[in-house]
Amino acid sequence: MKILLCFGTRPEAIKMAPLYHELLNNNFEVKVCVTAQHREMLDQVLDFFGIIPDYDLNLMQPNQSLNGLSANILFKIDEVFADAKPNLVLVHGDTTTSSVVALAAFNSGIKVGHIEAGLRTYNKQAPFPEEVNRQVTSRLADIHFTPTNQATKNLLNEGISNSNIVETGNTVIDSLLWTINKIESPEYLYPEIESLKNVIPTNKKIVLVTGHRRENYGDGFRNLCSALLTISERDDVAIVYPVHMNPNVTDVIYEELDGKKNIYLIAPVSYPAFVWLMQQSYLIVTDSGGIQEEAPSLGIPVLVTRTVSERPEGLEAGFSELVGTDKNNIVESINYKLDHFKIFELQLNPYGKGDACDKIVKYLNIFKQNKL
């Protein structure tokens, strides 16, 4: 059985990396195609997880439009399909790469498996364009690997057959645990982490901040910066912000926060370095989906700078909280966590326990025997 994994961004690579190795370990014929929708951040992940793509479309361009990216993927992926001749294409999550590759595979008569299927807000603008990408991919996929029971229910409510849904947990937990095991190994020395140890203060409560969502461009990020400036007045706090490379983010963040007391603006870090940063943190403020999934395994609370989340499980379990982009709400929520949070009661991460890839591969072994 020939399987082609297609992805283009750092989050996809993180979540597909352990699956790639699990497939190889179970004697599947696997090839990897990257669109390089992101470039430098994608390459960091590939290097850390030891993945050399068989096909690299190298499509990243500064401020590229979604339509331009989509057209380039659709045009170039045919050559990959012709050479790889896959029986199954696996895509992940909610990116432009995922939805367009799924469409191209469908047009070519190739079966599609969707990793991290079924997440929904049912709001086309939040997140944009990810929500529509997810829904489009669900209409095209033949196999839906869902991370949670709620994601499964979403698909069932949309008319997807239960026989085509496999509930697995999220592969990001597999990646997280693998990474922690590697960076905590006594013989492993990662220069970037060693460098961060000389920059990040250890005697303060670290508030780790990330942000990249399109719906927060402009006023959303300015409001966040204003809130962080207020929090930075606390002497017991250090705000660490790896700033996303998109100029819509970078320009605002550096204009508002550069050089301010107790605020550490740093370049985007590699995945292992970011995992180390999360481990050092008291609180995370983010609009990221993946961090909402990872943080429960580390026991760290998350404030989500969005008004809606396609990951309700963490909200319901109390691991995360929606705070939007209102300055006063962000300030109040951060202060409350800093002053009152102690530790989560021991409970299972609702997004899985690190065996998602094993479940996916076990299903594909059965699928291989019965469907191909």
Domain boundaries, the chain: 2-169+355-371, 192-340
Report phi then psi at 29, rounded to 5: -85, 105
Catalytic residue among 38, 92, 213, 244: 244
Active site residue 214: yes
The three-state DSSP-derived secondary structure of 56-92 is ECCCCCCCCCHHHHHHHHHHHHHHHHHHHCCCEEEEE
Q: What is the DSSP string of 310-331?
A: S-HHHHHHTSEEE-TT-HHHHH
Residue 87's CB is within 10 A of a number of other CB atoms, namely: 16
Please write the tens of the pLDDT for every residue from 129-164: 999 999 999 999 999 999 999 999 999 999 999 999
Q: Please name the residue that has the structure tokens 């990249």.
A: 212
pLDDT for 63: 79
List the structure tokens of 18.
Answer: 């352990």
DSSP per residue, 240-292: EEE--S-HHHHHHHHHHHTT-TTEEEE----HHHHHHHHHH-SEEEE--HHHH
| Residue showing tokens 């699990």 | 22
> For residues 190 and 221, what is the distance between their CA atoms, to the nearest angstrom?
32
Q: Show Cβ contacts of residue 247 under 8 Å, excluding neighbours closer than 6 positions.
A: 62, 63
CATH of domain 2-169+355-371: 3.40.50.2000
pLDDT of residue 214: 79
Active site residue 21: no
Q: How far apart are CA 57 and CA 241, in angstroms?
A: 31
Which tokens is 11 given? 């989050």
Per-residue confidence (pLDDT) for residue 371, from 0 to 100: 60
Q: Which of 94, 174, 294, 313 is catalytic?
A: 94
Sign, CA torsion 152/153/156/161: positive
Which one of the listed residues 12, 22, 116, 294 is annotated catalytic? 116
Distances 85 to 29, 51, 72, 267, 283 between C-alpha atoms, Å: 11, 20, 20, 39, 46
* Set 92, 213, 214, 311: catalytic member: 214
Radius of gyration of the chain (CA): 20
306 is known as an active-site residue: no
Q: Which CATH architecture has domain 192-340?
A: 3-Layer(aba) Sandwich (3.40)
Angstrom distance (rounded) from CA 367 to CA 259: 56
Distance between alpha carbon 150 and the CA centroid of its chain, in Å? Answer: 18
Residues 6 or more apart whose Cβ sits within 8 Å of residue 370: none
Among residues 130, 293, 294, 313, which one is catalytic?
Answer: 130
What pTM did the predictor assign? 0.93
In contact, 59 and 76? CB cutoff 8 Å: yes
Q: What is the pLDDT of residue 348?
A: 87
**pLDDT tens for residues 312-360?**
999 999 999 999 999 999 999 999 999 999 888 767 899 999 999 999 9
Query: Would you state the pLDDT for residue 346?
Result: 63
213 is catalytic: no
Catalytic residue among 134, 144, 212, 213: 212
Determine contact, residues 240/206, Cβ cutoff 8 Å.
yes
Q: What is the pLDDT along the chain (372 residues), one digit of tens a residue?
A: 999 999 999 999 999 999 999 999 999 999 999 998 778 778 999 999 999 999 999 998 887 899 999 999 999 999 999 999 999 999 999 999 999 999 999 999 999 999 999 999 999 998 999 999 999 999 999 999 999 999 999 999 999 999 999 999 999 999 999 999 999 998 888 899 999 999 999 899 999 999 988 787 889 999 999 999 999 999 999 999 999 878 888 889 999 999 999 999 999 999 999 999 999 999 999 999 999 999 999 999 999 999 999 999 999 999 999 999 999 999 999 999 999 998 887 678 999 999 999 999 999 999 887 765
Say whether 94 is catalytic. yes
